[in-house]
Structure 1
Amino acid sequence: MDTTAQSSTSSKPTKGMPTASGKYRPYPQVDIPDRTWPAKTMTKPPIWCSVDLRDGNQALVDPMGHDRKARMFHLLMQMGFPEIEIGFPSASQTDFDFARWCVEEGNVPDGVSLQVLVQCRPELITRTFEALEGARQPIVHFYNSTSELQRRVVFAKDVSGIKQIAVDAAKMITDMAAKAGGDYRFEYSPESFTGTELEVALEVCNAVIAEVKPTAQNKLIINLPSTVEMAMPNVYADQIEWMCRNLDNRENLIISLHPHNDRGTGIAAAELGLLAGADRVEGTLFGNGERTGNVDVVTMALNMFTQGIDPGIDCSDIEHIKEVFEYSNQMNIGERHPYVGELVYTAFSGSHQDAINKGMKARKVANHPIWEVPYLPIDPQDVGRSYEAIIRINSQSGKGGIAYILQEDYGLNLPRNMQVEFREEIQRITDEEGKELPSKRIYERFIERYVSQPEGRIKFVDHHTYPDTVHKGVRIVAAEITDNGETRQIEGRGNGPIDGFVNALSSYLGVEMSVQDYSEHSLQHGSNAAAISYVEIVHAGGKLFGAGINTNIVTASLEAIVSAANSLLASGEVQ
């Protein structure tokens, strides 16, 4: 290592950022040397609970009104969420009224539980039960903050006092549920779990468990939220495994995760937390939530889907999910957001485009069910997207991307050398204009340059061939062309119409030309199908390309030769 260079770099004054030393401290590690989660593999989805209507809603600049809430609520049911947190009914009349609407008019199907949040305060608990009257298997989610910082700064209580708040709430809630005679379920969260000493979180949770007395028929949800993401996701996984090992009555508990995204690793934390023993995940569509948001359950579900796991919620119409999300939240999803962003199935880079193009072709040939396309971890069609925008063209694009666009959208299969030349033409345009070129513009430029050639000096009109009576196997090609609008008759000899026409045109222009490469294919199916021919012509000064489109393949080939000749004339090398 060059210590001199390192010293020189570190001696420069730092602007803006304060010195971290002394102001911040590393999060403590969990002493669990025999951790098991790193060796585990995810094989099934968690129990999903959407908190869009509560946690997501309370994080909005303009919280949802009834219509926006109802649209979101119906979407969540359509997607198949088994548990939906519909609000904080004791916090406002709006939330209370919406909870009543969900119970009375929401058409909640069997097997879906409505969940509501409530603080561990008696008057709020009473109001919450009023909001849930008549609901089937609702979940009363009660919480209080247990973190060392909040105990000290916010509540001025010791561990015993914080624990008593939770136990008193648990007793009141279970008593009220018993009197109501309903099939209530319960969830407890030691809020700010990640800021709570593990021993304290365990003590409080075990006290709640002892009060609730969960059974196999009515398990208690213990939710361990990363209310503030404070450490790397592996630390959160260690915390979850430690709690799973030490909680009382574990077989009658559902361990739930509620990760936030302060460090940008909420999804990773949730995935590792499931490996560590958790059973359930609370999150929001596309990660909306306080500060940097909640865990993104759509991304997490599709991560599972790409690993061959049925995620248990339906993300097959990602555009509809996006539309409702943006309407209800009045927020826009970023263009690079995983799976749903406008540009996530789009490649501009030339090497990426080339690999995708080859991967799509190989998949068609292989006819194999396994999805294997470079740079695309998921088939866009599986989430309701199309292949149309996989490759888009700007100044960074390569020949493979341009070829893919022309093939997918217009059925043109350009030879490789022609791809290289045409790519230079498209790059010149994108460099000049500094923006993306749409597919139609690329196609029109191809036709203008290689097929229609409005500025081309030579035009093909007609031809006929007949045998050369002097030379066996040789045919004479007599063709009619126009040169700057004037009709000309030309004649040449060769082993076929293409060879003979090149000979005729070479003689007429006074330059030796020959066909280096030739290919053709049909553009449509049916008796009236057009065909396209591509030719690569070599001459003393280099090589040129041309293309022709006609219902007659021979005519298309001769038009392609004229196209190449016009490019030669336009270069100024031939008069």
Structure 2
Amino acid sequence: MPMLRDPSTKYLPYPDVPFPPGYVRRWPTRRTTVAPRWLSTDLRDGNQALVNPMSNATKLELFRELVKIGFKEIEVAYPSASEQEFQFVRSIIQNGEVPDDVSLQVITPARPDLIARSIESLSGCRHAIIHLYNAVSPVFREVVFRNTREQTIDLTLNAVRLVKKLTEEETARSGTRFTLNYCLETFSQTEPDFAVELGNRVFEEWGKATPEDKMMFNLAATVECAPSNHYADMVEYFSTNIKHRDSVIISIHPHNDRGTAVGAAELGLLAGGDRIEGCLLGNGERTGNVDLITLALNLYSQGISPNLDFSTLSDTVALVCRCNEMQIPVRYPYAGQLVFSAFAGTHQDAIKKGLDAQAKRWSEVDRSGQGKKYWAMPYIPLDPKDLGYGYENLIRVSSQSGKAGTAYVIKQTMDLDLPRRMQVSFYKVVQDESERIGKEMTAALIASLFKQTYSLDPQPVGRLFLHSYRLFPLSPTTREPSSPMSDYSDDIQALVPSDECSSIFRLEADLTVDGVERSIRGDGRAPVLAFLDALRTDLAFDLEVGESASQTINGDSPARAKSVTFLEAYEPGTSPSKSGVGSFWGVGISSDVTTAKCRAVVSAANRIVGDRTFPRPKKIFAPRPKISTVDSDSWLHEVKLRSGGLQPRSEKEMPGSFRVDTPTQT
């Protein structure tokens, strides 16, 4: 049968709550500032909804987890339903599994024989809560039980008298202290005035509730059949009309038939609720009970301690899913595998900028000792680390992602801050690879692709590979080599110096070119320009430098710091892409600044070289100029040489010059 064009012919809207004329609702202007009392019903309300109910061993495992999380009130069983349920209650009491500050709750319908069995199960417990229930809405009164209002009240009060009598006898026998939790089952479908009338009669019959020893009323949205604001109205009506309000705890028990149990619970608290009943991950009949994890972490993200500890949330989720033989969607609030993950490029860009900005704010708080490290992040309302997660899952890269996501992964895995236009360039490489394999690009795949793209490998992976170079300044007038350079001499040199700079450098480099080792030599006003001149002169490979950037990676200690150069190159007659798409970049990493720059040149050259043919090495003899040792350079003997720095040349090489071996890039 198709859906009705006019569903009003079949379904009735929810009725108004009978507030007096002019009444102003309180809950819309209130704000929750403290956590409620919590009752976990996982072991009973949740267990009864399972296709395969838990064994007592499994229930014990979950009970211990609930205690560890911090629940102080736990509904553990329906003792009169089966011997197994009865024995579970007895076992955790007799085996000392119940901490002194934890109260056990059991549920019983309003039947004399079942009430007696339930109270018997709690013998010896320090504090027990009897959850007495009966359905009181019109549809149950008239259809299921065929009772009038008066008959429903009589049935309820008779059950309360019996609970009172039997619990007092058990207290005298074993010392167990009892609290009554009367549940108006199907409260969400009950006339508000009748719910209040019944509640007041139950309170009077129990006769023992005081502000110091309160009784509870469970206002169950057994079926969620109206919007959350209607449930809040019903709770507020009950809360403001029940007598002796200071001696009553109002317990909120929402279900999720409309998918708004969390909203109903939060509004129910504003409307006067004191306690929340529910299950971890919302397990329960039909669409489930309210999810206590979501509720607790909603409070936590507003700066309110829920008094429950989900510091290892993934472990808790795994345990609950295993015990209940259930799974949750990957986008499930807080607990899903992808709730802190962003695939969209705009989201990734915002998250990356947020992390960078927050790191600066927090660093300033540490430095100045002023202010607080408040969490303020786009798209991420709660710090994943508080729940035992890391940041590695915040940004996930697919073919639908953007440059920021890729740049974030490279920063997290390799500690490299890519220039913006290089981010665009490399993301195109990542996007093409993601489309090729048809899968998400993991952090490991992206890091591997980055190293492959920019020839960051200790072995030759491109057509050009730099082994070592020799660098020394030339006299500006005679262009003859002068004193050799230290490995720090390039720290203040730009990749392309200003026109006023008159220094000239000579660079001789040993490369592997298409698998064959050869040497090249060039001159220029900076080491990079000298290297470009060498490529142009000996390999007929002409390149221009575009944008460049540098970075220092500290590593484990300052002594292990490495210099990083990012360099954009292009061929004469062309121009770099304004956006960065299609640009050719190189990356060089070394403990020596100049080596990093030379490696960046080779890295970029490998991106551009294509299948061009290089000329053969020139066989021209050119005697080296004779250079005398300068006494003023005796300080070089005091320089501590490091891997990748300057090394003395052999006696067969030019006296007074230095050779730089280029160790492995990492």
**TM-score calculated relative to the size of structure 2:** 0.81
Q: Distance in 2 between matches of 1:217 and 1:87?
A: 27
What pairs with 1:29-428 in structure 2 (closer than 5 Å)? Answer: 29-32=16-19, 33-180=23-170, 181=172, 182-213=176-207, 214-367=209-362, 368-428=372-432
Q: Corresponding residue for 2:437? A: 433
Please say if 1:465 is aligned against 2:471: yes
Ranges in structure 2 where 5+ consecutive residues have no aligned partner: 363-371, 478-501, 577-583, 616-666
Q: Corresponding residue for 2:600? A: 560
Once the 2 structures are TM-superposed, how far is the Cα of residue 178 of structure 1 from its aligned partner? 1.8
Name which of 458, 483, 490 aligns with 2:513.
Answer: 483
Once the 2 structures are TM-superposed, how far is the Cα of residue 488 of structure 1 from its aligned partner? 3.6
Please say if 1:541 is aligned against 2:574: yes
CA contact (8 A) 2:532 2:542 kept: no
Q: Distance in 2 between matches of 1:568 and 1:562?
A: 10
CA contact (8 A) 2:254 2:289 kept: yes
Shift in CA distance, 406/510, structure 1 to aligned 2, threshold 3 Å: closer
Which amino acid is the alignment partner of residue 29 of structure 1? D
CA contact (8 A) 1:568 1:574 kept: no
> CA deviation digits over 1:197-217, x for unaligned, max 9?
111111111111110121123
CA contact (8 A) 2:528 2:597 kept: yes
Q: Corresponding residue for 2:620? A: none
Determine helix, strand or coil for the equivalent of 2:609: helix
Q: Distance in 2 between matches of 1:295 and 1:380?
A: 22
Q: Distance in 1 between matches of 2:473 and 2:280?
A: 74
Please say if 1:506 is aligned against 2:493: no
Determine helix, strand or coil for the equivalent of 1:493: strand
Q: Distance in 2 between matches of 1:510 and 1:438?
A: 36
Aligned length: 561
Deviates further, 485-494 or 139-148: 485-494
Shift in CA distance, 149/414, structure 1 to aligned 2, threshold 3 Å: same
Deviates further, 184-193 or 96-105: 96-105
Determine helix, strand or coil for the equivalent of 1:153: helix
Which amino acid is the alignment partner of residue 274 of structure 1? L
Which amino acid is the alignment partner of residue 575 of structure 2? G
Determine helix, strand or coil for the equivalent of 1:346: coil
Q: Distance in 2 between matches of 1:408 and 1:136?
A: 52
Which amino acid is the alignment partner of residue 255 of structure 1? I
- Identity over aligned residues, as a percent? 40
CA contact (8 A) 1:515 1:537 kept: yes
Shift in CA distance, 55/573, structure 1 to aligned 2, threshold 3 Å: farther
Once the 2 structures are TM-superposed, how far is the Cα of residue 461 of structure 1 from its aligned partner? 2.6
Shift in CA distance, 78/264, structure 1 to aligned 2, threshold 3 Å: same
Deviates further, 173-182 or 278-287: 173-182
Once the 2 structures are TM-superposed, how far is the Cα of residue 310 of structure 1 from its aligned partner? 0.7
Determine helix, strand or coil for the equivalent of 2:455: helix
Determine helix, strand or coil for the equivalent of 2:9: coil
CA contact (8 A) 1:451 1:548 kept: no
Deviates further, 281-290 or 365-374: 365-374
Q: Distance in 2 between matches of 1:384 and 1:567?
A: 41
Ranges in structure 1 where 5+ consecutive residues have no aligned partner: 1-14
CA contact (8 A) 2:552 2:561 kept: no
Q: Distance in 2 between matches of 1:324 and 1:522?
A: 41
Q: Corresponding residue for 2:637? A: none
Q: Distance in 1 between matches of 2:44 and 2:145?
A: 24
Q: Distance in 2 between matches of 1:461 and 1:189?
A: 81
Which amino acid is the alignment partner of residue 519 of structure 1? S
Once the 2 structures are TM-superposed, how far is the Cα of residue 151 of structure 1 from its aligned partner? 1.1
Deviates further, 212-221 or 161-170: 212-221
Shift in CA distance, 559/512, structure 1 to aligned 2, threshold 3 Å: closer
Determine helix, strand or coil for the equivalent of 1:21: helix
Which amino acid is the alignment partner of residue 499 of structure 1? L
CA contact (8 A) 1:72 1:328 kept: yes
Determine helix, strand or coil for the equivalent of 1:138: strand
Once the 2 structures are TM-superposed, how far is the Cα of residue 528 of structure 1 from its aligned partner? 4.2
Deviates further, 325-334 or 461-470: 461-470
Q: Distance in 2 between matches of 1:380 and 1:574?
A: 53
CA contact (8 A) 2:543 2:569 kept: no
CA contact (8 A) 1:59 1:289 kept: yes
> CA deviation digits over 1:381-439, x for unaligned, max 9?
11111112111111121111111111112212211111101101111111122211111
Once the 2 structures are TM-superposed, how far is the Cα of residue 94 of structure 1 from its aligned partner? 1.1
Name which of 13, 27, 33 aligns with 2:14.
Answer: 27
Which amino acid is the alignment partner of residue 317 of structure 1? T
Q: Distance in 1 between matches of 2:276 and 2:224?
A: 15
Instruction: Please say which structure displays the higher CA radius of gyration.
Output: 2
Q: Distance in 2 between matches of 1:525 and 1:178?
A: 68
Once the 2 structures are TM-superposed, how far is the Cα of residue 298 of structure 1 from its aligned partner? 0.9
